[in-house]
Chain A
Amino acid sequence: MQKVGIVEVTQSSGVESPLSLMEFTYKPVKELLDKVDMRRDEVDMYILAATDVFHSGMSCANAFDWDASGAFMKPASREEGDAITAFVYGCMPIMEGRYDTVLVVGLIKGSENPENDTLTSFVADPFYSRPVGIQETTAAAMQMRLYLQRYGITEEQCAKVVVKNLGNALFNPYAHIKKRVNVDDVLNSERICDPLKAMECAPKSEGVCAMLLASEEKAKKLTDKPVWFKGWGSSMDTFYLGDRDLLDTQLKAAAASAYKMAGVSDPRKEIDVAEICEPYAFQELLWCEQLGFCAQGQGGKLIDSGVTQITGALPVNPSGGVLAMNPYVARGLYRVAEAALQIKGKAGEHQVDGKVNTALAHSTYGFCGQWQGVVILGS
Protein backbone atom coordinates (compact mmCIF):
# COMPACT_ATOMS: atom_id res chain seq x y z
CA MET A 1 0.00 0.00 0.00
CA GLN A 2 1.39 3.39 -1.05
CA LYS A 3 1.69 6.32 1.37
CA VAL A 4 -0.55 9.33 0.69
CA GLY A 5 0.59 12.88 1.35
CA ILE A 6 -1.43 16.08 1.59
CA VAL A 7 0.51 18.52 -0.57
CA GLU A 8 -1.43 21.74 -0.23
CA VAL A 9 -4.83 23.09 0.87
CA THR A 10 -6.83 26.21 0.12
CA GLN A 11 -10.13 27.36 1.55
CA SER A 12 -12.68 30.09 1.12
CA SER A 13 -14.20 32.27 3.81
CA GLY A 14 -17.52 31.30 5.35
CA VAL A 15 -19.01 34.76 4.96
CA GLU A 16 -21.78 35.24 2.35
CA SER A 17 -20.27 35.83 -1.10
CA PRO A 18 -21.88 37.65 -4.04
CA LEU A 19 -20.17 35.24 -6.45
CA SER A 20 -22.12 32.49 -8.16
CA LEU A 21 -21.41 28.97 -6.88
CA MET A 22 -19.38 28.36 -10.04
CA GLU A 23 -17.17 31.44 -9.56
CA PHE A 24 -16.95 30.81 -5.82
CA THR A 25 -15.75 27.23 -6.37
CA TYR A 26 -13.26 28.15 -9.09
CA LYS A 27 -11.26 30.61 -6.92
CA PRO A 28 -9.79 28.30 -4.24
CA VAL A 29 -9.19 25.52 -6.80
CA LYS A 30 -7.31 27.92 -9.09
CA GLU A 31 -5.37 29.23 -6.07
CA LEU A 32 -4.39 25.67 -5.14
CA LEU A 33 -3.21 24.73 -8.65
CA ASP A 34 -1.22 27.98 -8.93
CA LYS A 35 0.40 27.30 -5.53
CA VAL A 36 1.66 23.88 -6.59
CA ASP A 37 2.36 25.08 -10.15
CA MET A 38 0.24 22.41 -11.82
CA ARG A 39 -2.25 22.56 -14.65
CA ARG A 40 -5.67 21.12 -13.89
CA ASP A 41 -5.22 18.43 -16.58
CA GLU A 42 -2.01 17.24 -14.87
CA VAL A 43 -4.05 16.10 -11.86
CA ASP A 44 -4.90 12.41 -12.29
CA MET A 45 -8.32 12.36 -10.64
CA TYR A 46 -10.89 14.59 -8.95
CA ILE A 47 -13.17 13.74 -6.04
CA LEU A 48 -15.86 16.24 -5.10
CA ALA A 49 -18.11 16.50 -2.09
CA ALA A 50 -21.30 18.45 -2.66
CA THR A 51 -24.98 17.78 -2.45
CA ASP A 52 -26.92 18.16 -5.62
CA VAL A 53 -30.08 19.51 -4.06
CA PHE A 54 -30.62 20.09 -0.36
CA HIS A 55 -27.39 21.57 0.93
CA SER A 56 -26.28 23.15 -2.29
CA GLY A 57 -28.74 25.78 -3.30
CA MET A 58 -30.31 23.60 -5.99
CA SER A 59 -26.92 24.01 -7.58
CA CYS A 60 -27.19 21.36 -10.25
CA ALA A 61 -23.86 19.70 -9.50
CA ASN A 62 -23.39 18.51 -13.05
CA ALA A 63 -23.86 22.02 -14.42
CA PHE A 64 -21.47 23.86 -12.13
CA ASP A 65 -19.30 21.64 -9.94
CA TRP A 66 -17.22 19.75 -12.51
CA ASP A 67 -16.08 22.70 -14.58
CA ALA A 68 -15.44 24.88 -11.54
CA SER A 69 -13.37 22.27 -9.70
CA GLY A 70 -11.19 21.57 -12.73
CA ALA A 71 -12.56 18.05 -13.10
CA PHE A 72 -13.85 18.64 -16.64
CA MET A 73 -12.64 15.89 -19.02
CA LYS A 74 -10.89 13.99 -16.16
CA PRO A 75 -11.72 10.87 -14.13
CA ALA A 76 -14.00 12.23 -11.43
CA SER A 77 -16.55 11.23 -8.83
CA ARG A 78 -18.78 13.08 -6.37
CA GLU A 79 -20.01 12.03 -2.96
CA GLU A 80 -22.94 13.44 -1.02
CA GLY A 81 -22.38 12.38 2.60
CA ASP A 82 -19.63 14.39 4.27
CA ALA A 83 -16.49 15.72 2.60
CA ILE A 84 -14.20 13.87 5.04
CA THR A 85 -15.23 10.75 3.12
CA ALA A 86 -14.30 12.43 -0.16
CA PHE A 87 -10.83 12.89 1.35
CA VAL A 88 -10.60 9.16 2.05
CA TYR A 89 -11.96 8.30 -1.42
CA GLY A 90 -9.22 10.55 -2.78
CA CYS A 91 -6.54 8.66 -0.82
CA MET A 92 -7.67 5.24 -2.02
CA PRO A 93 -6.53 5.28 -5.68
CA ILE A 94 -3.15 6.63 -4.54
CA MET A 95 -2.78 3.92 -1.87
CA GLU A 96 -3.65 1.40 -4.55
CA GLY A 97 -0.92 2.80 -6.80
CA ARG A 98 -3.33 3.66 -9.58
CA TYR A 99 -2.89 7.46 -9.48
CA ASP A 100 -0.16 9.84 -8.34
CA THR A 101 -2.32 12.89 -7.70
CA VAL A 102 -5.94 13.44 -6.67
CA LEU A 103 -7.61 16.79 -6.10
CA VAL A 104 -10.42 16.78 -3.52
CA VAL A 105 -12.92 19.64 -3.43
CA GLY A 106 -15.76 20.19 -0.94
CA LEU A 107 -18.12 22.96 -1.92
CA ILE A 108 -21.24 24.71 -0.74
CA LYS A 109 -22.81 28.14 -0.54
CA GLY A 110 -24.85 27.94 2.63
CA SER A 111 -26.15 31.49 2.18
CA GLU A 112 -28.20 30.28 -0.80
CA ASN A 113 -29.93 27.54 1.18
CA PRO A 114 -32.88 27.41 3.54
CA GLU A 115 -32.04 27.02 7.25
CA ASN A 116 -30.25 23.81 8.26
CA ASP A 117 -33.30 22.92 10.40
CA THR A 118 -35.55 23.13 7.34
CA LEU A 119 -33.27 20.92 5.29
CA THR A 120 -32.53 18.36 7.99
CA SER A 121 -36.26 17.87 8.59
CA PHE A 122 -36.24 16.19 5.17
CA VAL A 123 -33.66 13.72 6.48
CA ALA A 124 -36.24 12.29 8.88
CA ASP A 125 -38.26 9.30 7.77
CA PRO A 126 -41.59 10.48 6.33
CA PHE A 127 -43.87 8.11 8.26
CA TYR A 128 -42.93 8.27 11.94
CA SER A 129 -40.57 11.18 12.54
CA ARG A 130 -41.01 14.01 10.03
CA PRO A 131 -44.69 14.67 10.82
CA VAL A 132 -43.81 15.57 14.46
CA GLY A 133 -41.16 18.16 13.54
CA ILE A 134 -37.92 16.41 14.30
CA GLN A 135 -34.72 17.71 12.67
CA GLU A 136 -31.06 17.87 13.70
CA THR A 137 -31.47 20.64 16.27
CA THR A 138 -34.49 19.18 18.08
CA ALA A 139 -32.81 15.76 18.07
CA ALA A 140 -29.62 17.31 19.47
CA ALA A 141 -31.57 18.97 22.29
CA MET A 142 -32.77 15.56 23.43
CA GLN A 143 -29.23 14.22 23.30
CA MET A 144 -28.03 17.22 25.34
CA ARG A 145 -30.74 16.68 28.00
CA LEU A 146 -29.62 13.11 28.47
CA TYR A 147 -25.96 14.19 28.62
CA LEU A 148 -26.64 16.80 31.33
CA GLN A 149 -28.77 14.41 33.37
CA ARG A 150 -26.70 11.25 33.17
CA TYR A 151 -23.29 12.74 33.84
CA GLY A 152 -24.07 15.97 35.63
CA ILE A 153 -22.54 18.07 32.85
CA THR A 154 -23.54 21.70 33.41
CA GLU A 155 -24.94 24.20 30.93
CA GLU A 156 -21.97 26.44 31.80
CA GLN A 157 -19.54 23.75 30.68
CA CYS A 158 -21.38 23.45 27.35
CA ALA A 159 -21.36 27.24 26.96
CA LYS A 160 -17.60 27.26 27.49
CA VAL A 161 -17.21 25.39 24.19
CA VAL A 162 -18.83 28.33 22.37
CA VAL A 163 -16.62 30.82 24.19
CA LYS A 164 -13.49 28.83 23.34
CA ASN A 165 -14.31 28.13 19.70
CA LEU A 166 -15.56 31.61 18.78
CA GLY A 167 -12.52 32.99 20.61
CA ASN A 168 -10.24 30.86 18.44
CA ALA A 169 -12.16 31.88 15.30
CA LEU A 170 -11.08 35.49 15.85
CA PHE A 171 -7.65 34.34 14.66
CA ASN A 172 -8.88 32.36 11.65
CA PRO A 173 -9.23 34.56 8.53
CA TYR A 174 -11.66 32.09 6.94
CA ALA A 175 -14.09 31.76 9.88
CA HIS A 176 -17.67 32.88 9.34
CA ILE A 177 -18.68 33.98 12.85
CA LYS A 178 -16.26 36.41 14.48
CA LYS A 179 -17.53 37.53 17.82
CA ARG A 180 -16.01 37.52 21.28
CA VAL A 181 -18.58 36.10 23.68
CA ASN A 182 -18.67 35.07 27.33
CA VAL A 183 -20.50 32.26 29.14
CA ASP A 184 -23.36 34.57 30.15
CA ASP A 185 -23.92 35.67 26.53
CA VAL A 186 -24.35 32.03 25.57
CA LEU A 187 -26.54 31.13 28.55
CA ASN A 188 -28.73 34.19 27.96
CA SER A 189 -29.18 33.57 24.24
CA GLU A 190 -32.62 32.34 23.22
CA ARG A 191 -33.60 28.88 24.47
CA ILE A 192 -34.70 27.65 21.06
CA CYS A 193 -35.35 24.12 22.23
CA ASP A 194 -34.50 23.63 25.86
CA PRO A 195 -31.80 22.91 26.97
CA LEU A 196 -30.21 24.10 23.67
CA LYS A 197 -29.58 27.82 23.30
CA ALA A 198 -29.35 29.65 19.96
CA MET A 199 -25.65 30.45 20.38
CA GLU A 200 -24.83 26.79 20.95
CA CYS A 201 -25.91 25.91 17.40
CA ALA A 202 -23.69 26.21 14.34
CA PRO A 203 -24.55 28.71 11.60
CA LYS A 204 -24.83 27.84 7.90
CA SER A 205 -21.83 29.06 5.98
CA GLU A 206 -20.25 29.28 2.56
CA GLY A 207 -17.26 27.03 2.09
CA VAL A 208 -15.05 25.67 -0.64
CA CYS A 209 -12.05 23.66 0.46
CA ALA A 210 -9.58 22.24 -2.05
CA MET A 211 -6.83 19.75 -1.24
CA LEU A 212 -4.17 18.12 -3.39
CA LEU A 213 -3.18 14.57 -2.45
CA ALA A 214 -0.17 12.81 -3.89
CA SER A 215 1.83 9.59 -3.70
CA GLU A 216 4.94 9.70 -1.48
CA GLU A 217 7.36 10.32 -4.32
CA LYS A 218 5.19 12.96 -5.99
CA ALA A 219 4.30 14.66 -2.68
CA LYS A 220 7.98 15.08 -1.81
CA LYS A 221 8.56 16.75 -5.18
CA LEU A 222 5.60 19.10 -4.81
CA THR A 223 6.12 20.26 -1.21
CA ASP A 224 8.89 20.29 1.37
CA LYS A 225 6.36 19.46 4.10
CA PRO A 226 3.89 16.75 3.09
CA VAL A 227 1.35 15.69 5.71
CA TRP A 228 0.78 11.94 5.73
CA PHE A 229 -2.53 10.11 5.83
CA LYS A 230 -2.19 7.66 8.73
CA GLY A 231 -5.58 6.26 9.58
CA TRP A 232 -9.29 6.29 8.99
CA GLY A 233 -12.45 4.86 10.51
CA SER A 234 -16.15 5.42 10.15
CA SER A 235 -19.38 3.94 11.39
CA MET A 236 -23.07 4.48 10.76
CA ASP A 237 -25.74 4.00 13.44
CA THR A 238 -29.41 3.14 12.94
CA PHE A 239 -31.65 6.10 12.18
CA TYR A 240 -34.19 5.55 14.98
CA LEU A 241 -33.24 7.53 18.08
CA GLY A 242 -35.21 5.16 20.30
CA ASP A 243 -33.08 2.23 19.15
CA ARG A 244 -29.87 3.93 20.27
CA ASP A 245 -28.21 5.04 23.46
CA LEU A 246 -27.70 8.64 22.34
CA LEU A 247 -24.59 9.00 24.53
CA ASP A 248 -22.94 5.88 23.14
CA THR A 249 -22.48 6.80 19.48
CA GLN A 250 -20.64 5.12 16.65
CA LEU A 251 -17.77 7.58 17.15
CA LYS A 252 -16.16 5.06 19.51
CA ALA A 253 -16.08 2.47 16.73
CA ALA A 254 -14.92 4.99 14.11
CA ALA A 255 -12.11 6.21 16.38
CA ALA A 256 -11.02 2.69 17.38
CA SER A 257 -10.68 1.77 13.73
CA ALA A 258 -8.73 4.95 12.85
CA TYR A 259 -6.42 4.56 15.89
CA LYS A 260 -5.71 0.93 15.00
CA MET A 261 -4.78 1.82 11.41
CA ALA A 262 -2.59 4.73 12.55
CA GLY A 263 -1.01 2.81 15.43
CA VAL A 264 -2.33 5.19 18.09
CA SER A 265 -2.70 3.46 21.44
CA ASP A 266 -3.12 6.41 23.82
CA PRO A 267 -4.99 9.16 21.96
CA ARG A 268 -4.89 11.62 24.87
CA LYS A 269 -1.08 11.54 24.84
CA GLU A 270 -0.34 10.86 21.18
CA ILE A 271 -2.68 13.32 19.48
CA ASP A 272 -1.32 16.86 19.47
CA VAL A 273 -4.34 18.70 18.06
CA ALA A 274 -7.91 17.82 17.06
CA GLU A 275 -10.31 19.45 14.63
CA ILE A 276 -13.71 18.01 15.39
CA CYS A 277 -17.22 18.62 14.11
CA GLU A 278 -19.47 20.11 16.81
CA PRO A 279 -22.64 21.52 15.22
CA TYR A 280 -23.97 21.81 18.80
CA ALA A 281 -21.68 22.98 21.61
CA PHE A 282 -22.23 20.08 24.04
CA GLN A 283 -21.28 17.64 21.27
CA GLU A 284 -17.65 18.75 21.42
CA LEU A 285 -17.53 17.51 25.03
CA LEU A 286 -19.32 14.26 24.19
CA TRP A 287 -17.19 13.61 21.11
CA CYS A 288 -14.00 14.24 23.16
CA GLU A 289 -15.08 11.48 25.52
CA GLN A 290 -15.80 9.07 22.69
CA LEU A 291 -12.52 9.90 20.98
CA GLY A 292 -10.83 8.78 24.21
CA PHE A 293 -9.50 12.21 25.20
CA CYS A 294 -11.06 11.67 28.65
CA ALA A 295 -13.19 9.09 30.41
CA GLN A 296 -16.91 8.72 29.77
CA GLY A 297 -18.89 11.50 31.45
CA GLN A 298 -15.75 13.59 32.01
CA GLY A 299 -16.20 15.96 29.02
CA GLY A 300 -17.25 18.81 31.32
CA LYS A 301 -14.17 18.44 33.50
CA LEU A 302 -12.03 18.29 30.35
CA ILE A 303 -13.06 21.77 29.23
CA ASP A 304 -12.82 23.09 32.80
CA SER A 305 -9.20 21.89 32.94
CA GLY A 306 -8.18 24.04 29.97
CA VAL A 307 -6.56 21.11 28.16
CA THR A 308 -8.59 21.75 25.00
CA GLN A 309 -7.80 25.47 24.83
CA ILE A 310 -5.52 26.57 21.99
CA THR A 311 -2.75 26.92 24.61
CA GLY A 312 -3.58 23.57 26.25
CA ALA A 313 -1.95 20.17 25.96
CA LEU A 314 -4.57 18.92 23.47
CA PRO A 315 -6.09 21.88 21.63
CA VAL A 316 -9.52 21.09 20.20
CA ASN A 317 -10.78 23.21 17.29
CA PRO A 318 -8.08 25.90 17.21
CA SER A 319 -9.71 27.05 13.93
CA GLY A 320 -12.98 27.80 15.75
CA GLY A 321 -14.61 24.57 14.60
CA VAL A 322 -18.05 24.20 13.14
CA LEU A 323 -19.64 26.61 15.65
CA ALA A 324 -17.69 29.37 13.90
CA MET A 325 -17.94 28.02 10.35
CA ASN A 326 -20.41 25.43 9.13
CA PRO A 327 -20.24 24.76 5.40
CA TYR A 328 -22.46 21.68 5.67
CA VAL A 329 -21.07 18.75 3.66
CA ALA A 330 -17.75 20.56 2.97
CA ARG A 331 -17.10 20.95 6.72
CA GLY A 332 -15.40 17.55 7.05
CA LEU A 333 -12.74 18.50 4.50
CA TYR A 334 -12.18 21.78 6.37
CA ARG A 335 -11.41 19.72 9.49
CA VAL A 336 -8.80 17.68 7.58
CA ALA A 337 -7.38 20.85 5.99
CA GLU A 338 -7.06 22.60 9.35
CA ALA A 339 -5.45 19.53 10.93
CA ALA A 340 -2.98 19.40 8.02
CA LEU A 341 -2.14 23.09 8.34
CA GLN A 342 -1.35 22.55 12.05
CA ILE A 343 1.11 19.79 11.15
CA LYS A 344 2.66 21.93 8.41
CA GLY A 345 2.96 24.77 10.94
CA LYS A 346 1.06 27.00 8.52
CA ALA A 347 -2.15 27.67 10.45
CA GLY A 348 -1.14 31.30 10.87
CA GLU A 349 -2.48 33.17 13.87
CA HIS A 350 -4.31 30.10 15.18
CA GLN A 351 -1.26 27.84 14.99
CA VAL A 352 -0.95 25.91 18.27
CA ASP A 353 2.15 26.38 20.39
CA GLY A 354 3.88 23.00 20.50
CA LYS A 355 5.13 20.90 17.61
CA VAL A 356 2.32 18.93 15.98
CA ASN A 357 3.27 15.41 14.95
CA THR A 358 -0.13 13.78 15.00
CA ALA A 359 -3.47 15.47 14.32
CA LEU A 360 -7.03 14.20 14.33
CA ALA A 361 -9.86 15.33 12.08
CA HIS A 362 -13.46 14.30 12.71
CA SER A 363 -16.77 14.82 11.04
CA THR A 364 -20.34 13.74 11.60
CA TYR A 365 -23.79 14.08 10.12
CA GLY A 366 -27.29 12.89 10.83
CA PHE A 367 -29.41 13.13 13.96
CA CYS A 368 -27.34 12.98 17.18
CA GLY A 369 -24.23 12.03 15.21
CA GLN A 370 -25.72 9.06 13.37
CA TRP A 371 -22.68 8.86 11.10
CA GLN A 372 -19.17 9.38 12.43
CA GLY A 373 -15.81 9.53 10.67
CA VAL A 374 -12.25 10.00 11.99
CA VAL A 375 -9.03 10.71 10.11
CA ILE A 376 -5.51 10.64 11.60
CA LEU A 377 -2.71 12.64 9.99
CA GLY A 378 1.00 12.56 10.77
CA SER A 379 4.10 14.61 10.11
Chain B
Amino acid sequence: MAEQKEKPRKVAAMGMVPYEMALGPTWTRFFEGFKEKKILGTKCNKCGRVLVPARPFCSRCFEPMEEWVEVAQEGTIVTWSYVNYTYFGVTPDMIPLIGATIKLDGVDCGTGMWTQIGGFDIKDFELVTKKVKVGARVRAVWRRKRQGNFRDIDYWKIIE
Protein backbone atom coordinates (compact mmCIF):
# COMPACT_ATOMS: atom_id res chain seq x y z
CA MET B 1 0.00 0.00 0.00
CA ALA B 2 2.49 2.61 -1.15
CA GLU B 3 1.23 6.13 -0.74
CA GLN B 4 0.66 7.92 -4.02
CA LYS B 5 2.77 10.99 -4.68
CA GLU B 6 0.22 12.54 -7.06
CA LYS B 7 -3.13 13.82 -5.86
CA PRO B 8 -5.43 10.79 -5.31
CA ARG B 9 -8.69 10.50 -7.20
CA LYS B 10 -11.92 10.99 -5.26
CA VAL B 11 -15.43 9.81 -5.94
CA ALA B 12 -18.11 12.36 -5.14
CA ALA B 13 -20.88 10.97 -2.94
CA MET B 14 -24.14 12.53 -1.81
CA GLY B 15 -27.21 10.94 -0.28
CA MET B 16 -30.66 12.49 -0.37
CA VAL B 17 -33.48 10.33 0.99
CA PRO B 18 -36.93 11.35 2.20
CA TYR B 19 -38.15 10.92 5.79
CA GLU B 20 -41.55 11.74 7.26
CA MET B 21 -41.42 12.23 11.02
CA ALA B 22 -44.61 12.12 13.06
CA LEU B 23 -44.93 15.22 15.23
CA GLY B 24 -47.24 13.37 17.62
CA PRO B 25 -50.12 14.81 19.66
CA THR B 26 -48.01 16.77 22.18
CA TRP B 27 -46.00 18.82 19.71
CA THR B 28 -48.97 19.18 17.39
CA ARG B 29 -50.87 20.90 20.20
CA PHE B 30 -47.81 22.99 21.12
CA PHE B 31 -47.53 24.36 17.59
CA GLU B 32 -51.29 24.86 17.28
CA GLY B 33 -50.84 27.24 20.24
CA PHE B 34 -48.36 29.27 18.17
CA LYS B 35 -51.10 30.01 15.61
CA GLU B 36 -52.97 31.81 18.41
CA LYS B 37 -49.80 33.52 19.71
CA LYS B 38 -49.73 31.23 22.74
CA ILE B 39 -46.68 29.52 24.24
CA LEU B 40 -47.80 26.29 25.88
CA GLY B 41 -45.98 24.18 28.40
CA THR B 42 -46.83 21.02 30.27
CA LYS B 43 -46.73 20.58 34.04
CA CYS B 44 -45.54 17.47 35.86
CA ASN B 45 -47.96 16.57 38.63
CA LYS B 46 -45.19 14.80 40.51
CA CYS B 47 -42.31 17.31 40.60
CA GLY B 48 -44.40 20.34 39.67
CA ARG B 49 -42.03 21.54 36.96
CA VAL B 50 -43.45 23.40 33.95
CA LEU B 51 -41.50 22.62 30.78
CA VAL B 52 -41.42 24.43 27.43
CA PRO B 53 -41.65 23.23 24.72
CA ALA B 54 -44.46 20.99 26.00
CA ARG B 55 -43.38 17.38 26.67
CA PRO B 56 -45.34 14.15 26.51
CA PHE B 57 -43.77 13.02 29.79
CA CYS B 58 -41.48 14.32 32.52
CA SER B 59 -38.08 12.87 31.73
CA ARG B 60 -37.05 13.02 35.41
CA CYS B 61 -40.16 11.52 37.02
CA PHE B 62 -41.07 9.41 33.94
CA GLU B 63 -44.77 10.24 34.42
CA PRO B 64 -47.05 11.48 31.62
CA MET B 65 -47.36 15.29 31.53
CA GLU B 66 -51.00 15.80 30.82
CA GLU B 67 -51.61 19.21 32.40
CA TRP B 68 -51.25 22.06 29.90
CA VAL B 69 -50.42 25.62 30.91
CA GLU B 70 -50.03 28.81 28.91
CA VAL B 71 -46.78 30.50 29.92
CA ALA B 72 -45.43 34.05 29.82
CA GLN B 73 -43.97 35.44 26.61
CA GLU B 74 -41.29 37.35 28.49
CA GLY B 75 -38.17 35.91 29.98
CA THR B 76 -34.46 36.18 30.65
CA ILE B 77 -31.50 35.30 28.44
CA VAL B 78 -29.63 32.32 29.96
CA THR B 79 -26.82 32.36 27.41
CA TRP B 80 -26.26 33.48 23.82
CA SER B 81 -23.91 33.35 20.84
CA TYR B 82 -23.24 35.64 17.89
CA VAL B 83 -23.18 33.42 14.81
CA ASN B 84 -21.28 34.92 11.89
CA TYR B 85 -20.41 32.08 9.52
CA THR B 86 -22.32 29.80 7.21
CA TYR B 87 -22.90 26.04 7.60
CA PHE B 88 -25.49 23.46 6.56
CA GLY B 89 -28.90 25.15 6.87
CA VAL B 90 -27.45 28.60 7.59
CA THR B 91 -27.07 30.58 4.36
CA PRO B 92 -25.24 33.92 3.83
CA ASP B 93 -28.54 35.86 3.92
CA MET B 94 -29.21 34.52 7.44
CA ILE B 95 -26.07 35.81 9.12
CA PRO B 96 -25.22 37.33 11.47
CA LEU B 97 -27.74 35.80 13.84
CA ILE B 98 -27.95 35.75 17.61
CA GLY B 99 -28.89 32.39 19.07
CA ALA B 100 -30.04 32.33 22.66
CA THR B 101 -31.50 30.10 25.37
CA ILE B 102 -34.29 31.92 27.16
CA LYS B 103 -35.89 31.11 30.48
CA LEU B 104 -39.48 32.24 30.29
CA ASP B 105 -41.05 33.59 33.46
CA GLY B 106 -42.71 30.81 35.44
CA VAL B 107 -41.08 28.05 33.39
CA ASP B 108 -38.66 25.61 35.03
CA CYS B 109 -36.23 25.22 32.16
CA GLY B 110 -34.55 27.28 29.51
CA THR B 111 -36.66 26.98 26.37
CA GLY B 112 -33.96 24.96 24.78
CA MET B 113 -35.13 26.42 21.52
CA TRP B 114 -32.57 27.91 19.20
CA THR B 115 -34.29 31.26 19.50
CA GLN B 116 -33.04 34.39 17.80
CA ILE B 117 -32.59 37.84 19.27
CA GLY B 118 -33.48 40.71 16.91
CA GLY B 119 -35.39 43.93 16.43
CA PHE B 120 -32.31 46.14 15.96
CA ASP B 121 -29.28 46.30 13.67
CA ILE B 122 -27.54 43.13 14.75
CA LYS B 123 -24.84 43.64 12.09
CA ASP B 124 -23.41 46.21 14.50
CA PHE B 125 -21.51 43.91 16.89
CA GLU B 126 -20.65 46.72 19.30
CA LEU B 127 -24.32 47.59 19.65
CA VAL B 128 -25.07 43.87 20.14
CA THR B 129 -22.62 43.59 23.05
CA LYS B 130 -24.25 46.64 24.67
CA LYS B 131 -27.81 45.30 24.37
CA VAL B 132 -27.56 41.51 24.52
CA LYS B 133 -26.40 40.22 27.88
CA VAL B 134 -26.81 37.13 30.02
CA GLY B 135 -29.72 38.08 32.27
CA ALA B 136 -31.20 40.60 29.79
CA ARG B 137 -34.99 40.61 29.54
CA VAL B 138 -36.70 39.64 26.25
CA ARG B 139 -40.19 39.42 24.80
CA ALA B 140 -41.50 37.26 21.91
CA VAL B 141 -42.41 39.10 18.68
CA TRP B 142 -44.80 37.10 16.54
CA ARG B 143 -45.07 37.02 12.79
CA ARG B 144 -48.23 38.49 11.32
CA LYS B 145 -49.03 35.24 9.49
CA ARG B 146 -48.41 32.17 11.61
CA GLN B 147 -48.32 28.59 10.35
CA GLY B 148 -47.82 26.56 13.50
CA ASN B 149 -44.05 26.10 13.45
CA PHE B 150 -40.95 27.57 15.07
CA ARG B 151 -40.76 30.40 12.53
CA ASP B 152 -43.97 31.85 14.01
CA ILE B 153 -41.90 33.69 16.62
CA ASP B 154 -40.12 36.17 14.36
CA TYR B 155 -37.53 37.10 16.98
CA TRP B 156 -37.08 37.96 20.66
CA LYS B 157 -36.92 41.67 21.38
CA ILE B 158 -34.70 43.06 24.13
CA ILE B 159 -36.75 44.88 26.77
CA GLU B 160 -34.73 48.03 27.57
Contacts and interface: CB of A to CB of B under 8 A. Distances in A.
Given A122-B15, A126-B13, A58 B62 contact: no
Nearest to A73: B60
Nearest to A70: B62
A112 B15 contact: no
Given A26-B57, A30-B57, A58 B19 contact: yes
A17 B22 contact: yes
B24 A114 contact: no
B73 interface: no
Interface string B1-14: 00000000001010
Given A23-B24, A26-B57, A39-B62, A114 B15 contact: no
A20 B62 contact: no
A113 interface: yes
Contacts of B21: 20-21, 57-59, 112
A113 B19 contact: yes
B92 interface: no
A20 B30 CA distance: 13
A18 interface: yes
B18 interface: yes
A23 B26 contact: yes
Interface string A85-113: 00000000000000000000000010111
A66 to B, nearest CB: 8
A18 B24 contact: yes
Interface string A1-37: 0000000000000000111111110100010010000
A63 B118 CA distance: 27
A114 B60 CA distance: 33
Contacts, number: 63
Contacts of B64: 30
Most buried by B among A21, A26, A127: A26
A20 B18 contact: no
B24 A20 contact: yes
Contacts of A30: 57, 62, 64
Nearest to B59: A67
B101 to A, nearest CB: 15
B107 to A, nearest CB: 17
A240 interface: no
B20 A23 contact: no
B11 A112 contact: no
Given A114-B17, A118-B17, A126-B13, A18 B25 contact: yes
A30 B23 CA distance: 20
Contact of A114 (B18, B22, B62): B18
A48 to B, nearest CB: 15
A151 interface: no
The 4 closest A-B pairs by CB, nearest first: A20-B24, A67-B59, A40-B62, A23-B56
Interface of A: 17-24, 26, 30, 33, 39-40, 57-59, 67-68, 70, 72-73, 109, 111-114, 118-119, 122, 126-127
